[in-house]
Chain A
Amino acid sequence: MTLLRSARLIDPASGRDELGDLKIRDGVIEAVGGSLISQGDEAVIDLEGAVLAPALIDLRCQVNPRSSGRSGLLATAQAAAAGGYGTLVIAPDAGLSSPESFAPIENAALSSPVNLIASGLLVDHDGEMGEIGLMLRAGAALLGDGGQPVSDTRLLKRALAYAATFEAWSSLRAEDPHLSRNTCAHEGDLSMRLGFAARPGAGERMAVDRATALAELTGARILLDRISTMDGLAALKMARSKGLEIAATVPVTHLIFNEVDTASYDARYRLEPPLRSEADRDSLIEALNNGQIDAIVSDHRACTGEAKAHPFPDAEPGAATLEAVLPALCTLVADERVELIEALRAVTSSPADLLGLPQGRLEIGAPADLVAFNPDVPNVYGRDGLSCDAPSAFENRRLVGKVLITFANGAIINQPAG
């Protein structure tokens, strides 16, 4: 039992943004708002005006469930707790195509500080349909292509039609598999000068158009994975105008960085999708503001130093981001690019609603998955230590905003000293 006092309660689900208290009992929110009276049996924490919001929910966290140690599930879950997350959907990229492949996630969930939810492959690495029905029965939150666009459209159509039978969301990487092959950069003047093999933004548009046609054909619910260009956004807008069940995510990195960061040839900025132009970044932020983006994903990936110790094009794409998402969003707020409640919506209630999860809201009876943070204090990423010190595009970046406490199911799962 915990009473959280004097918090700035921000709840995107209800639109609440006001000072007040919140009480936790038996892992759920017992009371929220106004001045609450202590029963005497609970721990009282005075948040002194810090923000108290639902803990973050990530629709895409890359971790190989069979890895252990620094890149394993538990280490990742700890980094998530440190970053203010309460729920991670584990991406199926590492070959999650049968209910048995979820076993390591189920085991880790028993001791994980945050909620771990599996997702499954629509199509496995051998080009066969994954065991969609059995994986959904085993608790998969959604299905997906695991970041590898399926080039065989007939196979994709069948997998989507099959998934639609269960009304499940299918996450499709918004990229053309052929245009993007063996590229490391966004096609444009800069990448040409730098000598990078590059892919055009139009590839994203084609993928969104294809997904739209398949959604019409099969009735599938499609989550467009990691939109990163204005081309993709334009196609998304068209898709939405047809009244289809289409949703979209953006990677947090692409709201902060652009292709100019790659001009250093620094492998930390080697990402998938590649960093795009500043105009693309502006469009993504605008889309976030006008509700075109359903979720911001961390797309967290703990690459080893060795995997990054290569020339830019040869380095492994990916970045550790779980502890950067909240500060990155606070930085956009401080720069007056987005309202805090809107930024939080894309990492709390909106992904929760998409998956039908009860958490992600400050509501009586909802799981007490909460994050308290100070949105204004300067925070140089990594300076005060990190739970996950894998290579990150955010390294040494000047951000604002710091996590104070994270709760999952009413228990404190992270409280940095000082």
Chain B
Amino acid sequence: MRSPRKLIGGLGLLAVAGTVAAIGAGPLLVSGADHLDSPLVKIDARVDITDVYAWRTSASTTTLAVNVNPLTAPADTKGARFRQTALYEIKVDTTGDAVADIAYRIKFSNLTRFSDGTNTQTFTVKRAIGAAARRTEWTGTTVAVGRTSRYGGTNRIAAVAGGGIAFAGPRDDPFFFDLVGFKHLKSRVLAGRQDLGTANDVTNCALADDDASARLLSCFTGSDTFAGTNVSSIVLKLPNAKLGGTGHSVGIWATTAIQTKSGWQRIDRMGRPAINTVFNITDGEKDLSNLVNPADDRSTMKDTTVAVLNALSAVVVHAGATGYTPAQINAIANTLLPDTLRIRLGSTAGFLNGRKPADDVINAEFSLVTNGALTSDGVNANDKAFLSAFPYLAAPH
């Protein structure tokens, strides 16, 4: 906090001499509170899921991670934490019907704040199976209790009953993506533009997205929008036996819900990376897909997914490459939906099999949705090296 009182004392002479000269610098403004401004309406970033990861960490273990608190600046990371009136869930479908058969549920409590602005919380992990796993509720068998790791402190790891370990706390955002470049690409595709152009075309990028001369790739700069920013991570390393068994294919997704008088209210849901970003066009569609369950994805999202795939296919054809047939587009939409992160437990294969933090998922998805015509957003690695040991995600900036 600046100290105007000190300034007044220290600058008194300067002020007397300088007031008239300084007046030309600009309007003098202090708040004129004849009305009281209310705080901004904001979504609670603590329940805003950024990404979900599931990857092989040994022949017999799989690590699951879910991140919230997107784009947290370093100064905000000190005070970043999880919402204590929220339920964080990682759902597992072991039968291929996009319905949860296992749920790992995480809640936070007992916030302790320190004078340096950092904090810790207790996290409790419950495991539910069967019909109970499908619901959004704070039930199940408690399998772990630990404390979140403090910003700048030692990583604290809790044991999971029946095997496994758990971590929660601030981490570098492992995601890497030129989101700014992509946003222009998407806007331009939706405006009917089809010329690919080249990345880093500053002149063309400067055009409005609906300009007839705007090209699709010109705004990609190779700049990782998420570099230098942090998230809050929940990481569970679990025996495959607890997730359906080694060699078994399962679907993983995460949800967040907040406590209300009428029960738990879903806030966010995510499986594969960027599905909502890429395939839903309006805010309403994005909200809807957050609220429904994966089993409903084809009924709620498939039309827009097919529309976007068709638009991209037209671009590919326009560029002289081979587009997808309607049957292929239908098949891809059915692969991407329901939106669960499919992984064969124990398999070393990368994305689309599960998702390792280092997987360049955007490149893979670009290639998939354009039949190989687009293969990169120009950002090919995270800005921080991943750890070789649990919790694997890099320390926060």
Q: Do A and B interact with each other, yes or no?
A: no
Binding site for B on A (CB under 8 A): none
